[in-house]
Amino acid sequence: MITGLRGRDMITTQEWTTEELDTVLEVAKRLKMDRAMGVPHPVLRDKVLAMLFFFSSTRTRASFEAGMAQLGGHAQFIESKSTQIAHGDTAKEIGVILGRYNDGIAIRQVDWGSGNSYIRDVAEASRVPVLNMQCDRYHPFQALADLLTIVEKKGDPREVTLDVSYAYASSYQKPLSVPQSLILLATRFGMQVRLARPPEFALMPDVVESARANAESAGGSFEVTESFEDGIRDADVVYAKSWGAMLTTTDEGESASIGARYQDWIIDEDRMALAGPNAIYMHPLPADRNIEVTDAVIDGPQSVVYDQAENRLHVQKAVMALTM
């Protein structure tokens, strides 16, 4: 276990060592057990987390608010459009001022090309830790929850084949941050990772190269395929969700039109039958039901999406307890 993490930002898991990430998982498991046993753990009593949202949220807001309450502190919800942030407050001013009012700052800013840089600008100005609740590049807390879930369900991650796949969705052009953070973290822990996506739905080249380097360093593997079925075949974990064709076009309408060519990229019972005999299905939610995934799969015995969603609470509490 690594101590001395007080004050650390969590913007991407790539900036934490594997030992530090192991510490997060260990603390998350302890806090999860305490929660199950009804053991109070108010380790952040009288501390306040500012939660700044530029984008709507269900699980992220609810889990951070609940987590701070369970840790004995308070979460302060701030919505960008109803504050002076919409009328001129700069990232530096937010970092300096909220850093003086609060003990931590959490931000969700997913605007393409600017979300991550905004969070980093706030972090540079802040004297308290800054936590990335999702940006255009990364979603570290989702990936940590995913890793905890895989370890709980499958054991040693080095023995796990993970399929990270694009799936069609019609709701909106979703950020790249979930698959990018997942391939980065899974390769750090030695998984056999497959990235399956149509050619127009590539992820950022620097992220893909980092995933390759991670896999080589950790003794796992990383491959990219444009075949939906090849990604699924014999996998232990099928993690299929939609994202936008951001590197092909920044026009959401054009991205949606491109995506419509791949409406057959849906996880159904026949596709799940291609996976390993004890494979699990994962999705960060919300899913476009019967478009990304059929009801039979997401509500079926192989689905662990609710355990996965619960683990958001525990990993976030672990990082807050360690850094704040």
What integer pLDDT is reported at residue 172 of this predicted model? Answer: 80
Q: In 128-148, which positions are buried (b, 16+ CB within 10 angstroms) versus exposed (e)? A: bbbbbbbbbbbbbbbbbbbbb
Helix (H, G, I), strand (E, B) or coil at 53: strand
* 243's tokens: 């994202």
* 71's tokens: 């840790």
Contacts of 162 (CB under 8 A, 6+ apart): 150, 182, 186, 191, 192, 193, 194, 235, 236, 237, 239
User: Against a cut of 0.85, is the pTM above it?
Assistant: yes
Which residue is it, tokens 């940006």?
135
Q: Catalogue all structural domains in the chain, each as residue range(s) with its CATH number.
A: 13-139+312-323 (3.40.50.1370), 142-309 (3.40.50.1370)
Per-residue pLDDT of the chain (324 residues; tens, 9 = 90+): 999 999 999 999 999 999 999 999 999 999 999 999 999 999 999 999 999 999 988 999 999 999 999 999 999 999 988 888 888 899 999 999 999 999 999 999 999 999 999 999 999 999 999 999 999 999 999 999 999 999 999 999 999 999 999 999 988 889 999 999 999 999 999 999 999 999 999 999 999 999 999 999 999 999 999 999 999 999 999 999 999 999 999 898 999 999 999 999 999 999 999 999 999 999 999 999 999 999 999 999 999 999 999 999 999 999 999 999
Q: Which of 312, 1, 11, 9 is nearest to 184 (CA)?
A: 11
